[in-house]
Amino acid sequence: MICVNGIEISPPDDARVSLLDLLREHLHLTGTKKGCDQGACGACTVLLDGDRVLACLTLAAQAEGRDVRTIEGLSGESDDLHPLQRAFVEHDGLQCGYCTPGQICSAIAMAEELRRGDPSYVTHDLAAGPPVATRAEIRERMSGNLCRCGAHNGIVEAIEAMLAETAA
């Protein structure tokens, strides 16, 4: 079984079905978007056991026995927006909104990577402690999520706001 947003789902019979098509076409969870379907845009980013992955290049069968969380599952039982969803609204982190679910799932996992001290390509001293979440760090860490409307400045501001709120 695959646990999608807390609900147990049977894996598809056809091994070719991607996790993305399972979510969108079989479960009708259309929040996760199909952009390029070849790992170039990040629109299909979901959380697999808490780590951000691309649902388009993950076969659904590979998610068996694991926990999948999508944009629909971020707020849990309540109808409240996740703090990062609120920040995206406040900081104009979107225009058309197509990349937004992927951006938000990606940034939530990115915050955890920062918290545990994972370095990035722009981290100056790889051996030092947890990197500081500068704008350069956030931009590098979010480079796997493209926004064709060019809302990247608002996206970075929204993420900065969430990180500040979490740290407070």
Beta strand extents in 5-120 (DSSP E only)? 7-9, 45-48, 51-54, 67-69
Establish if 62 lies at the interface with another protein (CB under 8 A): yes
Per this entry, what is the length of the chain?
168
String of DSSP letters for 96-117: S-TTHHHHHHHHHHHHHHHHTT
Could you say which DSSP state residue 56 is in? T
Establish if 26 lies at the interface with another protein (CB under 8 A): no
Closest approach of another protein to the CB of residue 90, in Å = 24
> Phi/psi at 22 (nearest 5 deg)?
-60, -50
Q: Which of 6, 7, 10, 64 binds another protein (CB under 8 A)?
A: 64
Q: Which of 57, 97, 111, 160 binds another protein (CB under 8 A)?
A: 57
Q: Which of 87, 109, 159, 162 binds another protein (CB under 8 A)?
A: 109
* Burial bucket for residue 17 (CB in 10 Å: 0-12, 13-18, 19+): middle
Q: Which of 30, 95, 120, 153 binds another protein (CB under 8 A)?
A: 120
Establish if 71 lies at the interface with another protein (CB under 8 A): no
- The tokens describing 158, both together, are 């929204």
Establish if 31 lies at the interface with another protein (CB under 8 A): no
Q: Which of 5, 58, 70, 103 binds another protein (CB under 8 A)?
A: 58
How many residues belong to the site for another protein (CB under 8 A)?
39
Which CB, 51 or 80, lies closer to another protein? 51
The single-letter code of the amino acid at 18 is S
Closest approach of another protein to the CB of residue 78, in Å = 27
